[in-house]
Amino acid sequence: MRAKKSVAIRRAIDDYGSEILANPHMEIERHSLQHGTVTTYDHSLRVARLSVRIALFFHVWAHVDRSSLVRAALLHDYFLYDWHDSEPWHRLHGFRHGGFAVRNAQRDFELTAIESNAIARHMFPLTPIPPKYLEGVIVSVADKISATQETLSPQRFRTLHIAHMIGVIHTRFTHQGFHS
Ligand SMILES: [Fe+2]
Ligand SMILES: [Fe+2]
């Protein structure tokens, strides 16, 4: 049953997501960090897979626009910059990036109304207007779950710990090894 679901999820991403994943702008997402050590590309894929899983779990897979669900999930963070860079226009990223993402996506792809709405409103309830369609609600829920998993992942803390240890060793080495 579990294996069957995994195959269905993989097939849905292949069938509906290939145009988006092949777009050259995805290179920016592959090099931009989203949560912890997870790139925006990997986060978007995770949200797409989880969106399909949620639709299957709640038995609404037959009732949603499958293509719009997968595509909106893959494009929900298509803002195309690393929000950790301290550019002035990255301020209030949480509130504004849904708008950036939908504008970029409309420029690069032919979007359905469901896709545009889901991308623009995925940050609800941080932004005040909820998604209009079921597909958008699913993407928004999948995004919150994925963001929480990525932010709290043990891998993140391992990496932070290693970075901290490298910093400690580097400081000791430069201050004691070279200067004392
Ligand atoms: Fe987002
Ligand atoms: Fe997201």
Evaluate whether residue 83 is within a structural domain: yes
Number of domains in the chain: 1
Ligand nearest to the CA of 42: 2
Q: Which domain holds residue 139?
A: 2-151
Evaluate whether residue 145 is within a structural domain: yes
What is the per-residue pLDDT across 29-49, written as a single tens digit (0 to 9) for each? 999 998 888 999 999 999 999
Ligand nearest to the CA of 39: 2
Compute, in angstroms, the gap from residue 143 CA to the centroid of ligand 1: 7
Compute, in angstroms, the gap from residue 76 CA to the centroid of ligand 2: 6
Evaluate whether residue 115 is within a structural domain: yes
Higher-confidence residue of 88 and 154: namely 88
Compute, in angstroms, the gap from residue 123 CA to the centroid of ligand 1: 6
Ligand nearest to the CA of 73: 2
**Cα→Cα distances 131→28, 31, 75, 102, 145, Å:** 26, 28, 15, 13, 17
Evaluate whether residue 94 is within a structural domain: yes
* Mean pLDDT in residue range 106-122: 98
Compute, in angstroms, the gap from residue 166 CA to the centroid of ligand 1: 31
Report phi then psi at 132, rounded to 5: -85, -30
**Cα→Cα distances 18→26, 35, 82, 151, 157, Å:** 11, 24, 23, 27, 32
Evaluate whether residue 162 is within a structural domain: no
Planar angle of CA 100, 119, 77, nearest 5 degrees: 60
Evaluate whether residue 157 is within a structural domain: no
Compute, in angstroms, the gap from residue 14 CA to the centroid of ligand 1: 22
Tell me the CATH number at 10: 1.10.3210.10
Quote the pLDDT of residue 157: 59
Quote the pLDDT of residue 156: 62
What span, in angstroms and rounded, lies between the C-alpha atoms of 116 and 103?
A: 9
For residue 179, pLDDT over 60 is answered with no
* Residue 143 CB contacts under 8 Å (≥ 6 apart), including other chains: 47, 73, 76, 122
Evaluate whether residue 168 is within a structural domain: no
Quote the pLDDT of residue 98: 98
Compute, in angstroms, the gap from residue 99 CA to the centroid of ligand 1: 10
Compute, in angstroms, the gap from residue 175 CA to the centroid of ligand 2: 41
Evaluate whether residue 125 is within a structural domain: yes
